[in-house]
C-alpha cells in the first residue's frame, strides 16, 4: 500500500480523502493557493505545499506546480478529488510519465468520457441508450440556430468539456438559443479552457438518475445501485438520494448493466459514474460519464456500507475488488443536502466572507457532515460556494427525510448567507415528500424565485411559548441584581405580551421543573429544556415532542430559527405593549435610482455610459462570481446619470454600479 499520497484539490473533498487515508495509515500532502493558506484541508494534511495565487487557473489548475509538489514531497500517488484536474487527461498522463500513480481511471478513459461528444458516440457503439441531437462541432451562433431548428425546440446547449452545471443552457426559441450559445461558450472557455458546445434534444419532465460504478485493474466492474439527483437549480444539484424513488429492481439492473457495458468499452477502472436522463415513462438515456468521484458519493456509501475513497486507493494500488455484483446489498435510504454560501431570498446570489459562527449538527450513525470549512474561516469568491454536505440515513425514505429536517435545525451558520431555509422548504414540500420530482421541480414550484412567503412557518404557539420561556429566564437573571432596596426587589411578573408578525399575543408564564408552562389562547404549553444563556441552540421538548431552535438575542428582540424560518419576537409587559403602537418606524433610504451589485464579484463588462438612454430589460452590466456570469438588466426605462464602478473592479454586495436620473 502507498506510504504517502497527495490530494490535488481543496475544500471538503480534500478533507474527505484525508480522513480515509489517515484511517488506512497513509500520510497525506495538501496543495493550496495563497487564499487557502489557513484552510481546513491544509490543517488536516501531514504536509502542505503552496501552488500559487488565489485564481484556480494560477494554482490548482497548473499541472506543473502540482507535479512539482509531488516530487518535492515524494508522494507515490495522487487523488484528484472532483473538479479542477480530476478529469484532465494531460494531468493523468503527466503523473504516469513521472512514475506517480493517478488514483482514478486511465488517461484513455478520461479522454474518451471527458468529451461529451466522443462519449456519446462510444455509448452508442456500446449499446447504451442515447438522446437524439447533433454531436459535431458548432462553428458559430448561426450554425447553432440552424442545428437547433433541425433538432427541434426545446434543445439543450452543453459545453463538451463541461461539468457542475457550467456551460449549459436550455433554449426554447431562436432568441434563447442565440443568447444561450454565447453564454455557454463564454462559461465553457472561462471554466474549462475549451469553448466547444454541442446541442441535443431537451427531454421534458426529466429525472436525473446516475449509476455508481467501481472497477479494478483486473477487469472486475460492479455497479453500486443508483442515485436520484433530480433536485437541481440552474443545472446544479441541490439534493441527492439513494436509492431513487422511481427505480425498481428491473430498471436498476438494466441501467446498471448499460453502465457496466460502457465501462467495459473503455477498460475503466476506479470509481466512476454514468449519468442518465429518465423520462416520465421510465425510458432512460445516456447523459455523460464522470470519470471521478462524485460530490454525492456519500449517499451511496450510506446505503451500501462501502468506503468509495478506500476502494479507489486500493484499486489504484493494484488490488482486486473484494466483492462481486451479487454481493452488493442496499440498506435503508440516504439523502444529501448541499449547504451553499448563497442567499435564496436574493435569487440565490453567492455570499462570501467569514464564518463568524459555524456549528454543524452532531455526527452519528444516521447523520454525516462532509465539510472543508471551520468557524472563523472564510468563504472565498474564488471557488465553489459549498459550505458543507449534510447526509442523513434512515430505514425508510420518510425516516431519512425526518432525520434531515432535524439536522438542518441544528446546523448553525452565521457570517455568510446560506441556503438552509431553502433546503428545509424542499424537505417539507409535498411534491418532494411524494417522490414526484424532476429536474424542473424547483423552477416549476418557485417560478419567481424563493421568497419569504415560501419559507415554512412554524406553529405560532411553539414560537410564542419558547420565546416566552427564554425571556422569563433572562428576566429572572436580571432580578438577581445586587443592592436592591429591601421591600422593593424586582419580581418577575407572570403576565407578558408577545409581539410576533405585527400581532400582540398575551401569555402567562409559570416556572416548573426543568422549564416553563406557558398559557397561550387558553392552552397550557409545556416548554422543557436545559438551555443556558449564550447557547445558540435551544434543545428540549415542546409538549413532549423533541425540539431544537436556533436562538439569537439582539436588542429588544429574540430571533428564533426553526424549519428554515426566522421569527423576530419581542416579549414585553402589558403596559409597554399598549404604547408600542405609537413607536415610529424608520424608513430605509430610497435606492431605486441605483443599480446595485446583487453579490460580491468581478465587474466583467459595462454596457452603458453617462447620458445614455436605456430601456427596460436592456443589459447594463455583467458580474462574475464563482465562475458564473450574471447579467444585470434595467428594470425600467431611464437615463444614466453616473457610473460608479468600471470593468475590472471587485464589487461588494449592494455596491452601486450605475446611477440613473
Positive or negative: CA dihedral 9, 14, 20, 24: positive
In whole angstroms, give the CA distance from residue 109 to residue 122.
11
In whole angstroms, give the CA distance from residue 7 to residue 103.
10
Q: What are phi and psi of 640, to 5 degrees?
A: -70, 125
Neighbours of 617 (CB within 10 A): 10
Adjacent-strand bridge partners of 596: 656
What is the distance between the terminal CA atoms of the chain, rounded to a whole angstrom? 69
512 CB burial (10 A radius; 0-12, 13-18, 19+)? exposed
Residue 549 parent element (H or E): strand 545-554
In whole angstroms, give the CA distance from residue 373 to residue 41.
8
The residue written with cell numbers 457495458 in the block is 261
Residue of 129, 120, 81 lying closest to 270 (CA atoms)? 81
- The set of cell numbers assigned to 649 is 473592479
The strand pair at 207-215 and 270-278 is best described as: antiparallel
CB 199 within 8 Å of CB 117: no
- The set of cell numbers assigned to 382 is 474564488
In whole angstroms, give the CA distance from residue 28 to residue 6.
6
DSSP 507: E
The residue written with cell numbers 428582540 in the block is 557
Three-state helix/strand/coil letters over 600-655: CEEEEEECCCCCCEECCCCEEEEEEECCEEEEEECCCCEEEEEECCCCCCEECCCC
Residue of 36, 38, 41, 3 lying closest to 19 (CA atoms)? 41
The residue annotated as part of the active site, out of 111, 187, 288, 624, is: 288
DSSP notation for 287-318? EEEE-S--TTHHHHHHHH---HHHHHHHHHTT
Judged by DSSP in three states, 647 sits in coil
Tell me if residue 552 is catalytic. no
DSSP notation for 342-403? EEGGGTTEE--EE-SEEEPPPP-SSEEEEES--TT-EE-TTS--EEEEEEEEESSHHHHHHH
The residue written with cell numbers 445501485 in the block is 225
CB 77 within 8 Å of CB 101: yes
In whole angstroms, give the CA distance from residue 359 to residue 590.
37
142 CB burial (10 A radius; 0-12, 13-18, 19+)? exposed
Residues forming the active site? 288
Amino acid at each position: 500500500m502507498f506510504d504517502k499520497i497527495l490530494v490535488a484539490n481543496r475544500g471538503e473533498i480534500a478533507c474527505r480523502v484525508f480522513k480515509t487515508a489517515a484511517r488506512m495509515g497513509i500520510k497525506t500532502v495538501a496543495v493550496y493557493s495563497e487564499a487557502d493558506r489557513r484552510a481546513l484541508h491544509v490543517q488536516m494534511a501531514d504536509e502542505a505545499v503552496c501552488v500559487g495565487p488565489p485564481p484556480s487557473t494560477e494554482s490548482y489548475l497548473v499541472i506543473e506546480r502540482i507535479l512539482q509538489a509531488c516530487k518535492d514531497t515524494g508522494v507515490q500517488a495522487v487523488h484528484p478529488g472532483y473538479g479542477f484536474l480530476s478529469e484532465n487527461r494531460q494531468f493523468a498522463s503527466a503523473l504516469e510519465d513521472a512514475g506517480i500513480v493517478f488514483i482514478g481511471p486511465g488517461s484513455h478513459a478520461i479522454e474518451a468520457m471527458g468529451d461529451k461528444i466522443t462519449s456519446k458516440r462510444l455509448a452508442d457503439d456500446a449499446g447504451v441508450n442515447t438522446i437524439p441531437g447533433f454531436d459535431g462541432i458548432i462553428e458559430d451562433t448561426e450554425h447553432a440556430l440552424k442545428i437547433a431548428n433541425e433538432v427541434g425546440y426545446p434543445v439543450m446547449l452543453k459545453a463538451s468539456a463541461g461539468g457542475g452545471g457550467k456551460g449549459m443552457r436550455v433554449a426554447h426559441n431562436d432568441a434563447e438559443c442565440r443568447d444561450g450559445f454565447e453564454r455557454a461558450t463564454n462559461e465553457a472557455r472561462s471554466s474549462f479552457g475549451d469553448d466547444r458546445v454541442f446541442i441535443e434534444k431537451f427531454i421534458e419532465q426529466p429525472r436525473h438518475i446516475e449509476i455508481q460504478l467501481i472497477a479494478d485493474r483486473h477487469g472486475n466492474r460492479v455497479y453500486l445501485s443508483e442515485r436520484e439527483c433530480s433536485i437541481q437549480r440552474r443545472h446544479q444539484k441541490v439534493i441527492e438520494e439513494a436509492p431513487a424513488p422511481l427505480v425498481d429492481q428491473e430498471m436498476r439492473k438494466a441501467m446498471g448493466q448499460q453502465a457496466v457495458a460502457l465501462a467495459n468499452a473503455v477498460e475503466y477502472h476506479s470509481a466512476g459514474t454514468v449519468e442518465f436522463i429518465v423520462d416520465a415513462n421510465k425510458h432512460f438515456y445516456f447523459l455523460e460519464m464522470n470519470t471521478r468521484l462524485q460530490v454525492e458519493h456519500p449517499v451511496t456509501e450510506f446505503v451500501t456500507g462501502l468506503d468509495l475513497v478506500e476502494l479507489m486507493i486500493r484499486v489504484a494500488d493494484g488490488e482486486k475488488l473484494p466483492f462481486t455484483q451479487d454481493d452488493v446489498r442496499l440498506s435503508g435510504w440516504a439523502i444529501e443536502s448541499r449547504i451553499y454560501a448563497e442567499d435564496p431570498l436574493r435569487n440565490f446570489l453567492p455570499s462570501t466572507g467569514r464564518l463568524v459562527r459555524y456549528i454543524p449538527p452532531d455526527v452519528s450513525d444516521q447523520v454525516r457532515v462532509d465539510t472543508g470549512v471551520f468557524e472563523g474561516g472564510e468563504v472565498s469568491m474564488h471557488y465553489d460556494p459549498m459550505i458543507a454536505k449534510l447526509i442523513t440515513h434512515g430505514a425508510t425514505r420518510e425516516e431519512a427525510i425526518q432525520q434531515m429536517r432535524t439536522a438542518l435545525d441544528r446546523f448553525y451558520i452565521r457570517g455568510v448567507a446560506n441556503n438552509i431555509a431553502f433546503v428545509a422548504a424542499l424537505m417539507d414540500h409535498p411534491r418532494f415528500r411524494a417522490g414526484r420530482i424532476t429536474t424542473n421541480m424547483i423552477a416549476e414550484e418557485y417560478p419567481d424565485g424563493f421568497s419569504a412567503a415560501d419559507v415554512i412557518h412554524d406553529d405560532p404557539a411553539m414560537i410564542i411559548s419558547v420565546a416566552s420561556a427564554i425571556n422569563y429566564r433572562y428576566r429572572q437573571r436580571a432580578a438577581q441584581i445586587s443592592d436592591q432596596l429591601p421591600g422593593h426587589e424586582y419580581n418577575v411578573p407572570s403576565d407578558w405580551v408577545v409581539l410576533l408578525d405585527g400581532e400582540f399575543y398575551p401569555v402567562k408564564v409559570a416556572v416548573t421543573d426543568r422549564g416553563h408552562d406557558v398559557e397561550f389562547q387558553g392552552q397550557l404549553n409545556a416548554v422543557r429544556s436545559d438551555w443556558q444563556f449564550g447557547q445558540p441552540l435551544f434543545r428540549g421538548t415542546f409538549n413532549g415532542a423533541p425540539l431544537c431552535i436556533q436562538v439569537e438575542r439582539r436588542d429588544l428582540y429574540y430571533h428564533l430559527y426553526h424549519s428554515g424560518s426566522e421569527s423576530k419576537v419581542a416579549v414585553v409587559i402589558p403596559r409597554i405593549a399598549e404604547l408600542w403602537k405609537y413607536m415610529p418606524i424608520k424608513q430605509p433610504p430610497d435606492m431605486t435610482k441605483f443599480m446595485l451589485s446583487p453579490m460580491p464579484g468581478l465587474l466583467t463588462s459595462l454596457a452603458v455610459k453617462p447620458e445614455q438612454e436605456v430601456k427596460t430589460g436592456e443589459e447594463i452590466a455583467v458580474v462574475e462570481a464563482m465562475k458564473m456570469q450574471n447579467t444585470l438588466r434595467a428594470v425600467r426605462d431611464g437615463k444614466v446619470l453616473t457610473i460608479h464602478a468600471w470593468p475590472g473592479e471587485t464589487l461588494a454586495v449592494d455596491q452601486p454600479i450605475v446611477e440613473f436620473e
